[in-house]
A and B are shown apart, each in its own frame.
Chain A
């Protein structure tokens, strides 16, 4: 029982990180119909911005974090939108899918070539001590990760529903033409979405890298899990991505411990296929109009 509880908590912790990536993913999709196949690499890269700051330039962690924040917002937010997405948008969804796949390759191989092909240790943001709760050994880091990500997603939800800018963003996501008629600055709202996605990616990167180490190839598995979380939860819901992320984190952990460690990555995939068969709009999603 104690073991089960331990696995549950650490599953929720990693799951909440996946949720951060999945939320950004769904936001992008809602705002501009961009399916970002480089989302996993978006989570992988900011950790290396921080490592450049702390190891190459010799800054302390906080300065490096600020540096990474700026790099992430500029490169993965602004430039991603202006250089990659904007020229592709008139061509439809398919070229964007392929361009983001190619972008993922560029990011992955650039880190491998210009930084390191080896997994890099990454400083833990939170204490790595453990506490004992009813016989279960719970890591403080896991609890802190869970609280931080949930707080971030809650804040985002409050921002989207309670502030004027947030509501304008939602209006843009729901119906771009009408939002524009009503005087919403649609272009700026879409840019905000890209910036929020970049910030969420940075956050996920800082939280996950102490656990899995920073490595160029991390993006592939993180990206796949973020897609699955978004689809399982519901592609058009922020809440859905959160539930999907947590669920996948727990399933991943429990199945690795109780069923098969070798086929660990297979269980989220099986869940994906079941969801698509049984409830294609996702657990919390509302059915969208079929786009054929």
Chain B
């Protein structure tokens, strides 16, 4: 077994045992991490595999959250909202990405930046639908086969199960010929194009799938937090999600999950710095980018490779000196 697989299984074991040793707030943080991980995984497909900057992941999170909350308030079961959130975000992603990707790669960043601002305005202004700045509440957590997820631990396992399912689907996408095409066009778009990869279509698809993951994360976010308001889906959240992917290591499968963990835990660790938290965090990101643009996992891989090279050097030199 590869060390990554072993580490993955160990983390999974920890994730199953951990909630039993934690109090309410710890379980909440852990569930929040899972939700953000799903959104960041989707963004990783857009950013890390297709090389596009999307600054609207929070908007998709919001669309998913409001869709699910409104449908659950109207009495529909959770999975109707969940499916619809994914569908709407996928569609919006296609509509948004199509014009932007016609031009130049960085245009998607501007268009999504604008889109996030626009969606936030709609959440805030359309009070009849979204409750405006007062937000939405009064939707209960879903229940399945008579088991209510009102208990935080049950909801946590429910989120974990969905997370594992979505992670598996993403893993399959990345491994499939599709995913190979995504990677090919990130590494060298011109070469990918000449090898017959329809660059525009693949990029658009990656963005739309990434957006759908944002929608599904939002769909889980609503019943987890049980109260949603426009504030949670501002541009700042999009920036946070983007930094999660970058810090963890964009283009690495586990990168965004690690990044999300850091972004969720860092405010807890850096609580003593009070308002300085964001400044410290953003500065660290700049340093990390200058040193190693492929994020923490990239840094780990590079260090591991260097250590391996050095130890094999030593072995060779030792072998040379022996009689």
B231, chain A: closest CB distance, angstroms: 13
A231 near B107 with CB under 8 A, answer yes
Q: Kindly list chain A residues whose C-beta atoms are within 8 Å of the C-beta of B173.
A: none
Interface 9-mer from A137-145, A161-169, A265-273: A265-273
Which of B53, B102, B113, B276 touches A280 (beta carbons < 8 Å)?
Answer: B102
- B104→A291 contact, CB < 8 A: yes
- Total A-B pairs in contact (CB under 8 Å)? 114
Instruction: Tell me the dominant secondary structure on chain B's binding face.
Output: helix
* B109, B190, B193 — most chain A CB neighbours (10 Å): B109
**Closest beta carbon of chain B to A233's beta carbon, Å:** 14
Contact B189–A292 (Cβ < 8 Å): yes
Docked-complex contact B290 and A269, CB < 8 angstroms: no
Docked pose: A263 CA to B102 CA in angstroms = 27
Q: Are B283 and A101 within 8 A (Cβ)?
A: no
Which residue among A99, A101, A228 has the maximum number of chain B CB atoms within 10 Å of its CB?
A101
Q: Which residue of A lies closest to B104 (CB)?
A: A291
Binds B, one of A106-114, A181-189, A192-200: A106-114
What does DSSP make chain A's interface, helix, strand, loop or mixed? Answer: helix
Instruction: Identify the closest chain B residue to A100 (Cβ).
Output: B286
Taking CB as reference atom, which chain A residue is nearest B199? A292
A102 is an interface residue with CB less than 8 A from chain B = yes
Minimum CB–CB distance from A220 to chain B (whole Å) comes to 7
Which residue in chain B gives the minimum CB-CB distance to A278?
Answer: B99
Closest to A98 in B: B246
B282 A102 Cβ-Cβ under 8 A: yes
Segment from A50-58, A84-92, A202-210 that makes contact with B = A84-92
Chain A min CB distance to B70 (Å): 21
* Residues of chain A within 8 A of B184, CB atoms compared: none
Known: A276-B102, A291-B105. A106 touches B282 (CB 8 A): yes
Which of B47, B109, B114, B278 has the largest number of chain A CB atoms within 10 A? B114
In the complex, what's the smallest C-beta–C-beta distance from A266 to chain B, in angstroms? Answer: 5
Contacts A87-B290, A102-B282, A263-B121 given; indicate if A94 touches B110 (C-beta within 8 A): no
* Residues 103-118 of chain B, each 1 if its beta carbon lies under 8 Å from chain A, else 0: 1111101110111011
Is the CB–CB distance between A220 and B235 below 8 Å?
yes
In the complex, which residue of chain B has the Cβ closest to the Cβ of A277? B99
Chain B 56-85 near chain A by CB (<8 Å), digits 1 or 0: 000000000000000000000000000000
Shortest Cβ gap from A232 to chain B (Å): 11
Chain B residues with CB under 8 Å of A280's CB are 102-103, 107
Residues of B within 8 A of A (CB): 47, 51, 53, 99-100, 102-107, 109-111, 113-115, 117-118, 121, 125, 189-190, 193, 199, 235, 239, 242-243, 246, 275-276, 278-279, 282-283, 285-286, 289-290, 293
Q: List 24 A-B contacts (CB under 8 A).
A: A84-B286, A88-B293, A91-B289, A93-B105, A94-B47, A97-B109, A102-B286, A102-B289, A109-B278, A109-B279, A224-B113, A224-B114, A224-B117, A262-B121, A263-B125, A265-B117, A266-B117, A268-B114, A272-B114, A273-B99, A273-B111, A276-B99, A280-B102, A292-B105
